[in-house]
Amino acid sequence: MKLIIGGQGKMGSLLKETAQNLGHTVLANVDTSNLDVLDTLESADMIVDFSHRDNLNWIIDYVNAHDCALVYGTTGLDADQKAQLVTLSKTHPVFFSANYSYGVAVFTEIMKVAVPMLKDSFDMELVETHHNQKADAPSGTAKAILEIMNPNGEFKEVYGRHGLIGPRQKEIGVHALRGGTEAGEHTVHFFGDNESITITHHATNRQIFVNGALKAAIWLEGKPAGLYGMPDLLGVNQA
């Protein structure tokens, strides 16, 4: 495939290197600082973006103009930007996930089973850890996990605690840790009476996200317009 990679940072560079090693052609790494390069390129089959939400507008414009597909993994989107991706998926194939790790995909499927069985008798807490350069908190993956834990908003979501907080209410604590070069860790604690369950996914290298994104790109090639995600890649959504 002929790819355009969004962003020129660490993830963009790793995506380019890995894609080329797999035999794909990377036309360019593009962000808002070098948009003029788009006019010099042949048409891409797909854009793969893990950069910054400020790049979303030119990405959508390019997908519409060149009728290509999109694999999108940038987090920190606002509601309007998420709606733009949904609109784009009505006319083009769009693969969107806050996390492209296979392990995290399995983690979320486990959560879909565990939460309904435990939420009424166990207290739930969510903790995520990332490197000290990550811009958004909580992480996009943590937000996706939280949606599984609290789909109907029946729990108050408490982001950190301090002061005289009193006894725990019907709530889910959400905690973001930042430091060093941590690639990413997500942990959900279920605290019951005299027992507890902890589910954790720990990433040791960003390469797992790159590998997952490129697997998604290969899977997406030739698919009809629609909004796809990791459950589709894992086959969970198959009838």
Q: Which residues are catalytic?
A: 130, 134
CA separation for the pair 198, 188 (Å, rounded)? 6
Contacts of 182 (CB under 8 A, 6+ apart): 129, 130, 131
Torsion on CA atoms 18, 137, 31, 64, rounded to nearest 10: 90
CA separation for the pair 227, 237 (Å, rounded)? 12
- Copy the structure tokens of residue 166: 């009193």
CA separation for the pair 100, 237 (Å, rounded)? 16
- Copy the structure tokens of residue 81: 């930007």
Look-up: residue for tokens 């982001």?
159
CB 118 within 8 A of CB 157: no
